Amino acid sequence: MTTVAVLADPPGETDALAGLVDSDVLDAEAAAELYTATLRDACAAVERSGGDLLVNYRVPEGVEPDDAEAAVVSALAPALDDPESARYEVQIGSTRSARVGNTVTHLLERESVRTAAVVDPAVALLERRHVDSAAMKLRGDEVVLGPTARGEVWYAGFAEPVDFTDALDAPSLRTLTERARDDGLGVDFVDSLPLVSDPAGLASAVVLARTRQLAGKPVPEHTAEAIDDLGLDVDTDGDGDDLRVHTDRDTDSS
C-alpha cells in the first residue's frame, strides 16, 4: 500500500496558479476556485484508491498553522467520503524540492511505509485508476513518475529515496529520472496528465474535459463543475496554432 501525499495549499493563499493570473487567463478569485476543484478531486481520487491519503499542507508566510490547516480541511470536506479520518501534516522545507524530499524520506525511513508518493494538486482529470496503476508499477520499479506534456511531474512515487536537492528543477521529469538512475534505481511511468498551473496546461485540461463530456465519459466532479461554472473553453490564437483558454467571466472583449 502506497502512502500518497497531496501537496496542498490553503486555496485562498496559494500561488500555484499564479501563472494563470499573471497571464490574465483567470482572475485571482477564479484561480482559487479552480485550484480548490483540482485539489478536491486529487484527494478524493487518492482516498478512494488502494493507497493511504496524506494531506501535506503548506503554511504560507503570515498565516498561522492552525488557520492554514483549517482552510484546507474546510476546502476538502465536501469532497472526501470520510473527512474525519483524513490525515493532515505540515510540509517542512524552504523549497518545493526540499518539502517533497522531506515528506518522502520521512515516510520511507521514519514511518517505514513500503512506498511513498507525492501528487501535485493542480493535476487535472486524476482518477482512482491512475493512483492504483502507479502503486502497481512501484512493485516492479523503485521510482514511478507521472509526466506532463511540458516535462513536469504530477506524480512521483518512490520505494527508495533519491537525492532530492533541487530535484524538481525543470524539467523535473528528466531531473528525477536522472537522480533515480544515478542511484541504480528502476524508473517507470504512468499516464500523462495536465497541470492547470499554466495557460498551456489549462488549455489541455479544458479540451480533455470538454471532449470527455461530449463523449459521455466521466470527468472528476469538482473540476467539471469549476470548468462549467467559470465558462472555460478553448479556441486558437490568431495564427490558428496554439490553443488558448477563454472564460465567460472575461470583462475585456478585445
The number of beta carbons lying within 10 Å of the beta carbon of residue 5 is 26
Handedness of CA 244, 229, 79, 215 (dihedral sign): negative
Digit-coded pLDDT (tens) for 177-213: 999 999 999 999 999 999 999 999 999 999 999 999 9
DSSP letter, residue 29: H
pTM for this one? 0.94
Digit-coded pLDDT (tens) for 135-186: 999 999 999 999 999 999 999 999 999 999 999 999 999 999 999 999 999 9
Strands 143-147 and 115-119: unpaired
Full 3-state SS string of 182-212: HCCCCEEECCCCCECCCHHHHHHHHHHHHHH
Peptide bond into 218 cis (omega under 30): no
What is the pLDDT at residue 227?
96
Q: Is 144 helix (H, G, I), strand (E, B) or coil?
A: strand
**Position 240 pLDDT exceeds 70:** no
pLDDT classification of 252: cutoffs 50, 70, 90 = very low
Digit-coded pLDDT (tens) for 7-44: 999 999 999 999 999 999 999 999 999 999 999 999 99
- Phi, psi dihedrals of residue 55, rounded to the nearest 5°: -90, 105
pLDDT classification of 254: cutoffs 50, 70, 90 = very low
